[in-house]
Structure 1
């Protein structure tokens, strides 16, 4: 019976992953526009790259690179001698990332799962960046643990994610945020959820950022975009 339940859970995860891939693949053009043109977001992406504390020649991996909006900023940091790897599981989204970075021979876009990145165990990774990713994961804190283990002592992990604002003007901002979360949660045709998507997202973001703070010494702790976006960077001891 336990084996059957385990198999059913596996099938459900596979179905959810397929649904998410179809959803984000279908809306790749819109997500690319939002990712690169939304006011304030380009500045945030530059701050995320800077928080990785990269030097020329370093290797950085972006987990869930999407359409590649962060990759040029990371390439600026590591220079022509460094290496940038972007990982995402959605084909149409990755095609956009490849187009955006085609001029760089040291930027590599790879299809894979951010929770099981297709990297060798002895990969020499200096930093991991994950923006707007951990809220999609079943075990965000566990993923952060894996990324910390990947970079090892002296490495950096940087997270940037959207969650409910805590500023004094939060009520109207959070009302808009909740609407965006519902509209961007596949499938968007679902009218009722067992639990509120924005609350579930908030819990995941808190868990991931708290785990990073536990595992590292802070190099960045910032709020952006009306307090909705949280950026946390840590250096592993």
Structure 2
């Protein structure tokens, strides 16, 4: 797992930050942004970003040392994909600029201002919760600041409330910390960077998924539109009754949702669940909200009550999850006794393997000799199994529940 550390001091490496990351088992890549350097916006293999400032004052354009600064493209990509970001000191200028906010010129931190305090929002903040109050030796910043709508403030002081902020689910700016290079991390800052490293590790699997699909979301619907008839045929195998409740797990752009709506009718309910906000935004642009609701969620921890779903449709998701058994158990938890699960892919296993230049793997979870016991131990009974040249489909019903649908 790698964290990119972007800094504006030529010839210096942020040794303190790199040391803390290494202590948490994270690799790091220092990217100096002097002389207008602008790293690529590719997030492949990147699990987190840390943005550090320089020793100079800020220019009115939000750059550092009066320059325009680089890296905004990479930070914007991280914000879109919810890759964790931590900005310290004047590094917050790059974060707010990438987020489309504005920061005016100011004189920087000064002594003698009111004490920094954690706000009530810190109690539930993923980075600040459980942490100590800022060190007494840290002084608030007094630069003018405009934050995006919905930004959360976990630390503030009288007269200057925007001392620490969170944008979205995973980008933090800490304005009152003098950032290395040029400054050593004080104990509170070192603890904060350590907590950020722990958060990066905990979110790494989801970060990789979001980064992969975020950069593909805009073209996804057009690229795979030809598969719509295959999706419709697969959804028909659910055989749901009008008025039922159906969930498309890992829905992407929601290609299955119109067919699910047709099956459950106007009185039924359709939910599209995906981990990547950019995919859900694309689904909305393509009108999927006419057919059901879209929810950003982890499909292994569904925000649903038990036994409330009549049909689950999952295309190409199960064998990419870190713990497919846990996913199958969760899907069984939310499925009613007469419910149905469809696992689908618009290509057969052999076709998929050939397309990627590899042989069929006997350990593949979707091979029938592996999938049947995996379902059995997770609360399902395999009802139908097809691994054809043009598609893969497995249909399962809840195990040992009376009234389950039959083919």
TM-score normalized by structure 1?
Answer: 0.72
Q: Conserved in 2, the CA contact under 8 Å of 1:134 and 1:208?
A: no
| 1:146-183, Cα deviation, whole Å (9 max, x unpaired) | 11221032111111145632xxxx7xx7332347xxxx
Structure 2 CA distance for aligned equivalents of residues 97 and 29 of structure 1: 10
Q: Conserved in 2, the CA contact under 8 Å of 1:72 and 1:101?
A: no
1:52 correspondence with 2:213:
no
Question: SS of 2:228's equivalent?
Answer: helix
What is the RMSD computed on CA atoms of the aligned residues?
Answer: 3.1
Q: What is residue 231 of structure 1 aligned with on the other side?
A: 393
Give 5+ residue unaligned stretches, structure 2.
Answer: 1-23, 26-194, 402-407
The alpha-carbon distance between structure 1 residues 223 and 103, as it changes in their structure 2 partners (threshold 3 A), is same
Structure 2 CA distance for aligned equivalents of residues 141 and 178 of structure 1: 27
1:95 correspondence with 2:289:
no
- Name which one, 1 or 2, has greater alpha-carbon Rg: 2
Q: What is residue 365 of structure 2 aligned with on the other side?
A: 204
Q: 1:11, CA displacement in angstroms?
A: 4.2
| 1:90-133, Cα deviation, whole Å (9 max, x unpaired) | 111101212333562x60000111111122x2462111111111
Give 5+ residue unaligned stretches, structure 1.
Answer: 180-195
1:79 correspondence with 2:259:
no
Alignment of 1:1-237 (within 5 A): 11-37=200-226, 41-102=227-288, 104=290, 107-119=292-304, 121-122=305-306, 124-161=308-345, 164-165=349-350, 174-178=353-357, 199=361, 203-206=364-367, 207-208=370-371, 210-212=373-375, 215-224=379-388, 226=389, 229-236=391-398, 237=401
The alpha-carbon distance between structure 1 residues 221 and 102, as it changes in their structure 2 partners (threshold 3 A), is closer
Aligned length: 202
Q: 1:204, CA displacement in angstroms?
A: 3.5
Q: Larger helix proportion, structure 1 or 2?
A: 1
Q: 1:219, CA displacement in angstroms?
A: 4.2
Structure 2 CA distance for aligned equivalents of residues 97 and 131 of structure 1: 15
Q: Conserved in 2, the CA contact under 8 Å of 1:101 and 1:107?
A: no
Q: Conserved in 1, the CA contact under 8 Å of 2:258 and 2:288?
A: no
Q: Conserved in 2, the CA contact under 8 Å of 1:135 and 1:205?
A: yes
